[in-house]
Chains A and B, each alone.
Chain A
Amino acid sequence: MAEQIKTFKQLEDIKKAYLAAQEKYDYIVYVCGGAGCVAAKCDVIRKTLIDETQKAGIGDTVSVVQTGCMGTCAVGPVMLVTPGNIFYTELTADKVKKIVTGHLAGGKVVEEYTYYDAALDKHVPKMDDIDFFKKQVKIALRNCGAMAYNDIAAYIARDGYQAACKALTELSPQKVVDEVMASGLRGRGGAGFPTGIKWQAAHDSKGDRKYMVCNADEGDPGAFMDRAILDGDPHSVVEGMLLGGYAIGADTGYIYIRAEYPVAVERIGDAIDQARAHGLLGKDIFGSGFDYDLEIRIGAGVYVCGEETALMASIEGNRGEPRQKPPLPFQKGLFGCPTNINNVETLANIPAIVKNGGKWYAQYGTEKSKGTKVFALAGDVVMTGIVEVPIGTPMREIIFNICGGVPDGKKFKAVQSGGPSGGVITDLDLDVPTDYQSLQQLGAIVGSGILIVMNEDTCMVDSARYFMEFIREESCGKCNACRLGTKRMLEILERIVDGEGEEGDVELLEELCEVVAETSLCGLGQTAPNAVMSTIRYFRDEYDEHIRDGICRAGVCFTQRDKKAYPQRLRGRVL
Chain B
Amino acid sequence: MDGKTVTAAKNGCEGCNQEAFDEIGNIIDLYKDKEGSLIQVLHRAQGIYGYLPLELQSYIADGLGLSLSEVSGVVTFYPFFKTKPQGKHTISICMGTACYVRGGKKLVETIRDLLGIEVGETTEDGMFTFVVERCIGACGLAPAVMVDDTVYRQVDEEMLKAIIEKYRKGEVSA
Contact = CB atoms under 8 A, between A and B. Distances in A.
Whether both chains belong to one complex is answered with: yes
Given A315-B36, A319-B74, A384 B137 contact: no
Contact of B120 (A303, A384, A416, A569): A569
Contacts, number: 183
B119 A565 contact: yes
B79 A36 contact: no
Given A36-B141, A261-B137, A319-B77, A568 B120 contact: yes
Interface string A548-567: 00000000000010101110
A321 B163 CA distance: 38
Contact of A39 (B81, B96, B138): B138
B98 A222 contact: yes
A452 B97 contact: yes
A572 B77 contact: no
Contacts of B102: 379-380
A573 B131 contact: yes
Interface string A208-234: 000000000011111110010000000
18 contacts: A36-B138, A36-B140, A36-B141, A222-B98, A224-B137, A298-B40, A300-B80, A300-B81, A316-B35, A378-B140, A466-B97, A564-B112, A568-B118, A569-B131, A570-B79, A572-B120, A572-B131, A573-B132
Given A298-B43, A565-B108, A568-B118, A378 B82 contact: no
Contacts of B140: 36, 73-74, 224, 376-378, 384-386
Contacts of A38: 151
A139 interface: no
Given A301-B78, A379-B101, A566 B132 contact: yes
Interface of B: 35-40, 42-43, 73-74, 76-84, 95-98, 100-102, 105, 108-109, 112, 118-121, 131-142, 144, 149-153
Among all A-B residue pairs, the 9 with the closest Cβ atoms: A73-B140, A572-B120, A300-B78, A378-B98, A221-B96, A378-B139, A317-B38, A300-B80, A301-B80
Interface residues of A, number: 69
Interface of A: 35-36, 38-40, 73-74, 218-224, 227, 259-262, 297-303, 314-321, 335, 376-380, 384-386, 416, 419, 450, 452, 454, 458, 463, 466-467, 470, 473-474, 476, 560, 562, 564-566, 568-575
Contacts of A376: 139-140
A224 B138 CA distance: 7
A378 B142 contact: yes
